[in-house]
């Protein structure tokens, strides 16, 4: 049965320095789970998973500028490409202004992984754990013949990306991943939860950008890059049995189980422990 957030989780607008971001709080208790969305997404994509998590802890969703009811960036700010640290600082300002006290369990989707990576690196004492849902690739795909398509820019790097609301994610967001120091997984509570093997073949319409590679080739590279993320963070690496890129939307019970396990581990001051039987029940396995 699918769950939806209720009116008790209505969004509020909080000033973060000349404009307002939308924030929605549900549940009670700690550590609070803070959801950092994929490109172009905000509250709604987390709704089912957030409702399940709110049964046992506080859950925060928010909208980056121009998304989920948040104000757009001021015109003078919108032309400047931003990296993950800048977006993380904006999130930290929002949480402080909304009186959401750390430490947080940060849960990301796709490009949000770069934001929570930088948050945990900058303020490790404010982070109780990380769960990265199918994080955006840390490097361009290899062997793609059309570098000007949706995969890469002409120099082989990812281009600047319009994140909506005047926020431009810089291509440096990805380039810097290969050179900046990762956050330290001091407590053993970092998890990478990747989409199902074969999801590119199943979920993506063939287009010219990936040729001469097939989507099956892209799928293999995607899983390789998921492993890079897990190795970078010394994280537990899990793979969804069937879920695609937006795991929390397709399989909210899986997200609730994995994030909930990180919350429980933080409460008990121990590394995260996910047994195979529980993973099997919610549709995941160890990488």
- Distance CA(38)–CA(49), nearest Å, equals 15
Write b or e for each residue in 143-152: b if 16 or more Cβ atoms lie within 10 A of its Cβ, otherwise e: ebeebeeebb
| Dihedral pair phi/psi, residue 38, rounded to 5° | -70, 170
Number of H helices, E strands in the chain: 10, 12
- Distance CA(218)–CA(78), nearest Å, equals 33
**Number of other residues whose CB lies within 10 A of the CB of residue 18:** 10
Task: For the chain, give every domain's residue range.
Answer: 7-286
User: What are residue 162's DSSP bridge partners?
Assistant: 168
- Distance CA(143)–CA(200), nearest Å, equals 17
- CB-based contact 178:225 (threshold 8 Å): no
- Distance CA(242)–CA(285), nearest Å, equals 11
pTM: 0.91
Give residue for tokens 């939860």.
193
The tens-digit pLDDT sequence of the chain (287 residues) is: 233 433 445 789 999 988 899 999 999 999 999 999 988 889 999 999 999 999 999 999 999 998 999 998 888 888 888 888 888 999 999 999 999 999 999 999 999 999 999 999 999 999 999 999 999 988 778 888 654 444 443 334 567 787 777 788 787 766 667 778 999 999 999 999 999 999 999 887 767 778 888 899 999 999 999 999 999 999 999 999 999 999 999 999 999 999 999 999 999 999 999 999 999 999 999 99
**Number of other residues whose CB lies within 10 A of the CB of residue 285:** 12
What's the Cα-to-Cα distance from 111 to each of 38, 99, 246, rounded to whole Å?
A: 5, 26, 11
Please provide the CATH number assigned to the domain covering 7-286. 3.40.50.1820
User: What are residue 284's DSSP bridge partners?
Assistant: 240
User: What are residue 13's DSSP bridge partners?
Assistant: 22
Q: Write out the two tokens for 36.
A: 């950092």
């Amino acid at each position: 049965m699918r769950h939806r957030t209720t009116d008790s989780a209505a969004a509020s607008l909080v000033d973060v320095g000349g404009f307002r971001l939308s924030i929605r709080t549900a549940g009670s208790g700690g550590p609070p789970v803070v959801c950092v969305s994929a490109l172009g997404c905000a509250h709604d994509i987390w709704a089912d998973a957030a409702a399940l998590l709110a049964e046992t802890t506080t859950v925060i969703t928010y909208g980056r500028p121009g998304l989920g009811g948040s104000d757009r960036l001021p015109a003078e700010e919108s032309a400047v490409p931003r990296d993950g640290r800048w977006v993380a600082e904006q999130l930290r300002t929002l949480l402080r202004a909304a009186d959401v006290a750390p430490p947080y369990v940060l849960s990301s989707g796709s490009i949000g992984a770069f934001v929570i990576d930088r948050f945990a690196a900058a303020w490790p004492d404010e982070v109780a754990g990380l769960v990265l849902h199918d994080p955006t690739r840390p490097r361009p795909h290899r062997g793609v013949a059309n570098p000007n398509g949706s995969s890469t820019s002409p120099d082989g790097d990812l281009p600047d990306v319009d994140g909506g609301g005047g926020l431009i994610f810089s291509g440096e967001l990805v380039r810097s991943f290969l050179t900046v120091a990762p956050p330290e997984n001091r407590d053993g509570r970092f998890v990478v939860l990747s989409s199902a093997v074969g999801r590119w073949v199943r979920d993506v319409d063939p287009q010219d950008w990936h040729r001469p590679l097939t989507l099956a080739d892209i799928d293999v590279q995607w899983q390789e890059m998921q492993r890079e993320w897990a190795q970078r963070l010394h994280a537990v690496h899990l793979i969804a049995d069937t879920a695609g890129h937006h795991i929390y939307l397709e399989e909210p019970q899986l997200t609730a189980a994995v994030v909930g396990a990180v919350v429980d581990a933080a409460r008990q001051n121990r590394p995260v422990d996910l047994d195979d039987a529980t993973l099997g029940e919610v549709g995941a396995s160890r990488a």
